[in-house]
Structure 1
Amino acid sequence: MDDAAENAADNLSPGWDAITEAFDHLYPGREPRHFGPLIRYSLGGPDPLDGLSAWKRLEPVPHWHIVTYGLSELYAKESDDPEVSGYGFELTFRPTCDPAEEEPPVWALNFLQNLARYVFQTGNVFRDGDWMPINGPLSQESDTALRSIAFTADPELPALETPSGAVAFLQVVGLTEDEERAAKQWKTSRLLDAFRPKLPLLVTDLGRTSLLADPVMSQQVEDGTIRDGSSTGYLLTDILRWTGRKRLLRAPDYHIILGPRQVDEFTRLLPLRLPFDRPLLLVGEGGDGQSRVLFEPGERDAVVEADDKLVVRLTPATARALGETLKPHAGDYAVPGLPISFTIELAAIAA
Structure 2
Amino acid sequence: MSDEELNSVGWDAIDQAMEKVYGDQEPKHYGTMISYMLGGNDPLDGISVYEAKEPMEHWHFVTYGFSELHEKESENLEVSGYGFELTFRLAKKHNETEPPSWALNFLQNLARYVFNSGNVFKNGDYMDANGPICLESDTELTALAFAYDPELPKMDTPNGTVEFIQVVGITADELEAMQIWNTLGVLHICTEYMPQLITDLLRTSCLHNDKVVEAIETGSETEGSNTGFLFNDQITWTPGGKKFFKRIPAMMTIGAKQAVIIGKVLKGRQVKEEPLRLVSNEVTVVFSFSDQPQLIEDSLEIQLNKKAVEELIEQLQPIEKEFSIPSLENIAFKIVKTEVKDSEGKIVETIG
When normalised by structure 1's length, the TM-score is 0.88
Per-residue deviation, 1:113: 1.2
**Retained in 1: the 8 A contact 2:7–2:70?**
yes
Q: Equivalent pairs: percent with the same residue?
A: 43
- SS of the residue corresponding to residue 266 of structure 1 reads helix
Matching of residues 301-320 of structure 1 within 5 Å: 301-306=293-298, 309-320=299-310
Q: Deviations for 1:159-197, whole angstroms, at most 9, x for unmatched residues?
A: 111111111100000011111111111101111001111
Per-residue deviation, 1:244: 2.5
Residue in 1 that maps onto 2:77: 82
Q: CA separation in 2, counterparts of 1:16 and 1:121? A: 22
Per-residue deviation, 1:304: 1.5
Letter in 2 for 1:231: N
Per-residue deviation, 1:134: 1.5
**Retained in 1: the 8 A contact 2:253–2:335?**
yes
Q: CA separation in 1, counterparts of 2:216 and 2:19? A: 37
Residue in 2 that maps onto 1:332: 322
**Retained in 1: the 8 A contact 2:235–2:278?**
no
- SS of the residue corresponding to residue 94 of structure 1 reads strand
Residue in 2 that maps onto 1:3: none
**Retained in 2: the 8 A contact 1:51–1:69?**
yes
Letter in 1 for 2:323: Y
- SS of the residue corresponding to residue 318 of structure 2 reads coil
Q: Rate the CA distance shift 1:122–1:56 in 2: closer, same or farther, 3 A.
A: same
Q: Which runs of 5+ in 2 are unaligned?
A: 340-352
Per-residue deviation, 1:240: 2.3
- SS of the residue corresponding to residue 17 of structure 2 reads helix
- SS of the residue corresponding to residue 273 of structure 1 reads helix
Per-residue deviation, 1:216: 2.2
Q: Is 1:265 matched with 2:261?
A: yes
Moved more, 14-23 or 31-40: 31-40
Q: CA separation in 1, counterparts of 2:94 and 2:13? A: 29
Q: Which runs of 5+ in 1 are unaligned?
A: 1-5
**Retained in 2: the 8 A contact 1:130–1:188?**
yes
Q: Is 1:175 matched with 2:170?
A: yes
Which of these residues, 286, 290, 300, is aligned with residue 298 of structure 1?
290
Residue in 1 that maps onto 2:236: 240
Residue in 2 that maps onto 1:279: 275
Aligned length: 337
Which of these residues, 167, 189, 192, is aligned with residue 187 of structure 2?
192
- SS of the residue corresponding to residue 151 of structure 2 reads coil
Q: Is 1:70 matched with 2:65?
A: yes
Residue in 2 that maps onto 1:145: 140
Q: CA separation in 2, counterparts of 1:101 and 1:327? A: 44
When normalised by structure 2's length, the TM-score is 0.88
Per-residue deviation, 1:11: 5.7
Matching of residues 152-171 of structure 1 within 5 Å: 152-171=147-166
Letter in 1 for 2:228: G
Per-residue deviation, 1:205: 0.2
Q: CA separation in 2, counterparts of 1:24 and 1:30? A: 8
Give the structure with higher Rg (CA): 1
Letter in 2 for 1:152: A
**Retained in 1: the 8 A contact 2:256–2:320?**
yes
RMSD of aligned Cα (Å): 2.6
Residue in 1 that maps onto 2:44: 49
